[in-house]
Amino acid sequence: MKYRVLMLVLAIQTAPLAALCGPLAAASTPAPTGPALSSEQQRRLDGGHVVVLDVLPPGGQARGTQGGTAVALVQASPTTVWRVLVDYPHHTGLYPRVVDTQVLEHDANRSLVRYVVAVGPFSFEFHVNNYPEQVHERLSWRLAQDRPNDLFHESWGYWQIGRTPHGTIVTYAMAARTVLPAFMTRGAERDGLVATLRAVRNRAEQVN
């Protein structure tokens, strides 16, 4: 009984976290300015909306995986956006329910970061390897399988910065398989994608 209650709490409260999550198509490597958009999606992007695409990032198996790709226009320099993305100790406030982060290993090519998320009275940890490529303005990441990961079986994705005359285009793509059945979190991944990208945009525009 306690296990079922805990699963229900997790399903309700970690739904946005699955966006750190129907079947989706795997994407090819995006262009520097982000994925191709329809004219309507471009209109919404120019109007300040976060555009969400049912496209998984490359790098893993699609079966049983949830996620997507979100794109937004940010009124801040690419350099400022990049600093926000790689400021791992201050990722609290960017990802849903993340209450603590700690950089465990760091060099020019990789940073291993421990995240703690709060779900009601419970807390859970997971570990992510981040791979920055500043020359390409791209930050890729993948769950560190050799470390404890309470909520995730697998997770991967990327951030991509693109330049346009109207501002900086930021693309956030993620995919995940959690300990929860897919039907319990399906549909909530869009909220998490949008919330995370909005948080990055707000922080970048405030410090620009």
Percent of the chain whose predicted confidence (pLDDT) is above 70: 75
Residue 166 has what pLDDT?
85
Whole-number Å distance between alpha carbons of 7 and 98: 19
pLDDT above 90: residue 13: no
Identify which has the larger pLDDT, 176 or 158. 158
Identify which has the larger pLDDT, 44 or 4. 44
Residue 43 has what pLDDT?
95
- 103, 88 in Cβ contact below 8 A? yes
**Host domain of residue 169:** 2-207
Residue 50 has what pLDDT?
97
Span 44-66, average pLDDT: 85
Whole-number Å distance between alpha carbons of 84 and 109: 17
| Amino acid (one-letter) located at 194 | V
Whole-number Å distance between alpha carbons of 62 and 56: 8
- Supply the CATH number for residue 201's domain: 3.30.530.20
pLDDT digits (tens, 9 = 90+) for 15-51: 455 555 433 344 444 444 568 899 999 999 999 999 9
Residue 29 has what pLDDT?
44
Number of domains in the chain: 1
Residues sharing a CB contact under 8 Å with residue 185, sequence separation 6 or more, in sequence order: 11, 14, 15, 18, 21, 66, 178
pLDDT above 90: residue 70: yes
- What are the two backbone dihedrals, phi and then psi, of residue 51, each rounded to the nearest 5 degrees? -95, 125
pLDDT digits (tens, 9 = 90+) for 24-33: 344 444 444 5
